[in-house]
Structure formats: C-alpha cells, structure tokens
Structure 1
Amino acid sequence: MWVYATGHTDEGICLYDYRTTRAGKHAKNFLHGFNGYLHTDGYAGYNVVPNIKLVGCLAHVRRKYSQALTAIKDVESTSHTKAKEGLQYCNQLFALEKKWKALSPEDRHEKRQEEMEPILDAFFAWAKNMKKVALSKSALGSAIQYTINQWPKVITILADGRLEISNNRAERMVKPFVINRKNFLFCNTAKGAQASAIVQSIVETAKANKIKPLAYLTYLFEQLPNIDVNNSEELNTLLPWSESIPQNCKTE
C-alpha cells in the first residue's frame, strides 16, 4: 500500500494506492506529470521518478544513531559517545524546526540559511571524519554511512521554506492503515485492497482537513446520487476543504 500526501502549506490530501509490489515504477506511474519536490524515506525506488527533486528524511537519519546507542552496551565507550554526538546534531536541527513552526515559508527559508546551514555543514564534516575511524559493519558505522548516502537529499531542505525536515507526515498517514489492517481481512483480493485504499483516502483526507469522517461519508452518500459525477465543478463542492461542506461535518 503506497501513500502520497501533500505538504503542510497545501490543502491536506492523503491518497492510498494499492499495488502488488513496492517497485519504483509504481511511484513513477502514479506521479506521472508531477514536477517539484518529493519527500521520501531512503528507499531507492523513488530515484526512477523523473522531474522531481528528492527531499530526505532527518528522522530516519536520527533513528540510525538512536539504534546505534541501543546496540552499544558499553556506555563508557568511544563509540557510544560518538553515536550520542550524531544524535545531538539531529536533535539540534529538530529543535530549530520546532522553533520556526509558525513562520512563513519565506521567513523559515531565511532562518534555515542563517542558523541551520552551519549546523548541517558541521554535521556532514563530522560524519566524513567519523567514517575514517568507525567500523563499517558496526551500528555506528552503519549510521554514519547512511548519513553520508542520504546527505544530498537531506540538505535539499535549505532550498525552500515549504519543505519539511522529515517524512513523518507520510509516516503518520501510513500508521492508521497498519493499525487497522487486521480489521480488513475481508478485503482479501486485489479489488478489495483497491476499495479499502479509496475509503482510507477519503477518511484520512477528511481528518487532515479537520472534517469528521463519519459525518462526511454520510454527507457524500447523500449528495453523490444527486450530482453529475463526471462534472469536476460539482465534485469540487464535495471536497473536504470546500466552503459548502456543512458545519456538522466539521470538528470544533
């Protein structure tokens, strides 16, 4: 189950797309005609999508150092200290993003240039130096190599204030499906999976726009039989961000 989501500066849209494999061609086909920034985890399958600029996920980088700390039992060791240093770099960057959450994209972009770029430069220089001394097959060595591999995507965040520091938005939208899938055992065919993807898309997009899913679905079932579903203008009035959505569908 693939998931695609808009960024925080756009209307909240979450689309699930069932495919039989996780081959990159599915993302390429789904995103045909799209050009711009694409936030992803470190999966190499997204590299085949044309006309996009990949944006890395610092949360995945941070997780590597967190895992390294857990794996290193000797808290007095040099490796433990160095893994903590890598984690602290990540924490500094997340702290800045939290502080700038309410800023406009333009102001956030300016702040990143002034305050975030020096920390990113120092982090990358540290990672390159550590690569020379860390054991490549150790948990710390793996975290450092992952950082270096993902770096061209991670620093893309400096290019535009609309970009986010992690892919957690999409990760959060995957979670409801993962939690609920044991309730979907009746969807045991490809068509069943496609149907559940459609329903999940409607529900999660409603939630992203502060619309109550049950009330919204009820409203859709009442309205759809009475409109021309081939008329995009009429369908637009039923989208979760439309001003015509009744008040009883909206959360407080």
Structure 2
Amino acid sequence: SKSYMWLYATGADSPEGKLTDTDIPHIVLFDYHASRAGQCAVDYLDGYQGYLQVDGYAGYHKTQATLVGCWAHARRKFTDAKTAMGKHKSGKVEWALNHIQKLYRIEIQIKNKTPDERLKIRQEKSLLLLKQFEAWLIKSEQEVLPKTKLGEAIQYCLNQWVKLQRYTLDGHLSIDNNRAERAIKPFVIGRKAWLFSQTANGAHASAVLYSIIETAKANGLTPFVYVMHLLEELSQPEPDIESVLPWNVKLG
C-alpha cells in the first residue's frame, strides 16, 4: 500500500549553522501517515500560527501557519524546462535561472549574519531582484505557451509568488526548504533496503527512530554514543528528559 512519511524540521543543519541570537533548536521530526491529505499537517501542527516553509502542495493551506515558499522548488521548475528543451536554448530559461542565482548569491553573503542583518540586506537587495522577476513573470506569461515546461514554471512562480517573496520579511527564514530536503534523504535511501516496515506500527517506529537519530546528527552528536547515553539516562528511576534532548546534550 502507498503511505507517506511527513517531515518537520527547525533550526539549521548543524550547530555551526545556528544563529547566535536565537534559541531555535535543531530538530528533525518524522511523522507517518497513510495519507498525504492536508489534514495530517493540520492535526500535527495543532493550531500553530508561525512560519511554515513548504513546496507548492495546496494541502498546507488548511493549516493556520503563515506559509513561506521555496525557491529551490521554483528553480527546479526552470531547470526541468531547460532539460526538456534539450539542445534548443531559451533566453527566457537562462534569464530566470541567472536571476534566481542572484538571489542565492545574496543568501551566501549573509549566511553568517544575525537575523536583523539578514533582514536589512534582503530588504535592500533581494526585494529589488524579486520585483524585477515578478515583472518578467507577468510579461512572459503572455509570451509562452502555458502547457510547455517553461510555461508551467512561470505559472508555478506566479501562483506561489506571495509565498516565494515572504522569506524577505524575517531574518530567521531561509530562501528555500532544502533543510528538510536534506534531512529526509537518509530515509529515502534507507527505504530501498527495508524488509521490516510492513505494518503501520513498524512505520511509526521508524518515524520515532529516524527522528532521534537525525536530530542527534543535526546537533553534532554521534548517533551511537548519543543513544547509549540516552538509554542509560532513561533507565534511571526518575530520568531527566529535558537533559537528554539532543540540543541539551554535550558529549565528547
């Protein structure tokens, strides 16, 4: 049967990537469901009204979160269009990809700055590029056949535009959700070798185990050493759960 593993991530990929003036921990949480219905996210987030960075899946609109778009997904649409054209080059595709690259160059420059500094620079530099891109999208929509890969890429960006520019409103936000894309890769690779996840209970167990291991890795911990430490503490009569959360543990 077909089922789904949802993934939620906060913080950064590693302790080194953590901004100094925020206490957002590095967390990777897997949540198994037999469905991809938007209600799964609604139930899990339970009224959460903060930012949620997502792809273009419409189901996320059912949540109460403020949705933020992903420029990696937008860029991939244009990359697919370039591939579909083969040897036939398109100035429009190249322009779009180059313009998106300019947005990413700004992100590289501000990677290690504080959220306030990132916000300021985005407001000064990124917003101008975004306005240029939006004008190009509106113009190109009238010039490109809608059912071509390029037409689909343009329409995707126009449909997602409010969300795609939202990352410029808060310095804590990222330009894309590659954070989650990278976090789920070990799960995607692992499922090819599974012989035991044949039941919903097994899938739920996998979600718990992957959450523990991937969150440990995100916090710079060696998974085996952390799990041994975790089991030792949990075997105590009154274990201190707070102290063994991955972002609170310091292991040599």
Q: Aligned match of 2:85 in 64, 68, 72?
A: 72
Which residue is equivalent to 1:57? 70
SS in 2 for 1:102: coil
1:246, distance to aligned residue in structure 2 (A)? 5.1
Which residue is equivalent to 2:34? 20
Long gaps (5+) in structure 2 = 13-18
Question: What does the per-residue CA deviation read over 1:99-119, in whole Å, with 9 as the maximum and x for residues that have no partner?
Answer: 110110000000000000000
Equivalent residues of 2:47, 2:63 under 8 A apart = no
| Percent of residue pairs identical | 44
Distance 1:17 1:112, change over 3 A: same
Distance 1:7 1:220, change over 3 A: closer
Q: Which amino acid aligns with 1:146?
A: Y
1:74, distance to aligned residue in structure 2 (A)? 4.1
Q: Aligned match of 2:235 in 213, 220, 225?
A: 225
SS in 2 for 1:3: strand
1:247, distance to aligned residue in structure 2 (A)? 2.7
Distance in 1 between residues matched to 2:114 and 2:237, nearest whole Å: 39
Q: Which amino acid aligns with 2:182?
A: R
Q: Which amino acid aligns with 1:228?
A: E
Given the two structures, how large is their TM-score scaled by the length of structure 1? 0.91
Distance 1:144 1:246, change over 3 A: closer
Which residue is equivalent to 1:42? 56
Q: Aligned match of 1:247 in 236, 247, 251?
A: 251
Q: Aligned match of 2:94 in 84, 89, 100?
A: 84
SS in 2 for 1:241: helix
Distance in 1 between residues matched to 2:91 and 2:146, nearest whole Å: 17
SS in 1 for 2:160: helix
Equivalent residues of 1:4, 1:15 under 8 A apart = yes
Give the 5 Å matches for 1:182-197. 182-197=192-207
Question: What does the per-residue CA deviation read over 1:114-159, in whole Å, with 9 as the maximum and x for residues that have no partner?
Answer: 0000000000100100000101111111110011011110111111
Distance in 1 between residues matched to 2:122 and 2:250, nearest whole Å: 40
Q: Aligned match of 1:5 in 9, 12, 15?
A: 9
Question: What does the per-residue CA deviation read over 1:176-197, in whole Å, with 9 as the maximum and x for residues that have no partner?
Answer: 1000113332121000000010
Q: Which amino acid aligns with 2:84?
A: A
Distance in 1 between residues matched to 2:157 and 2:73, nearest whole Å: 9
Does residue 147 (structure 1) correspond to residue 157 (structure 2)? The answer is yes
Question: What does the per-residue CA deviation read over 1:12-69, in whole Å, with 9 as the maximum and x for residues that have no partner?
Answer: 001100001110000000000322100011111100001x110000001101111111
Given the two structures, how large is their TM-score scaled by the length of structure 2? 0.91
Distance in 1 between residues matched to 2:226 and 2:132, nearest whole Å: 49
Q: Aligned match of 1:115 in 125, 129, 138?
A: 125
Distance in 2 between residues matched to 1:110 and 1:12, nearest whole Å: 25
Q: Which amino acid aligns with 2:245?
A: L
Question: What does the per-residue CA deviation read over 1:195-217, in whole Å, with 9 as the maximum and x for residues that have no partner?
Answer: 01000000000001000101111
1:223, distance to aligned residue in structure 2 (A)? 1.5
Long gaps (5+) in structure 1 = none
Which residue is equivalent to 2:110? 100
Q: Which amino acid aligns with 2:88?
A: V
Distance in 2 between residues matched to 1:228 and 1:89, nearest whole Å: 56
Q: Aligned match of 1:209 in 206, 210, 219?
A: 219
Distance 1:91 1:192, change over 3 A: same
1:173, distance to aligned residue in structure 2 (A)? 1.0
Paired residues in the alignment total 238
Distance in 1 between residues matched to 2:76 and 2:51, nearest whole Å: 23
Distance in 2 between residues matched to 1:227 and 1:241, nearest whole Å: 23
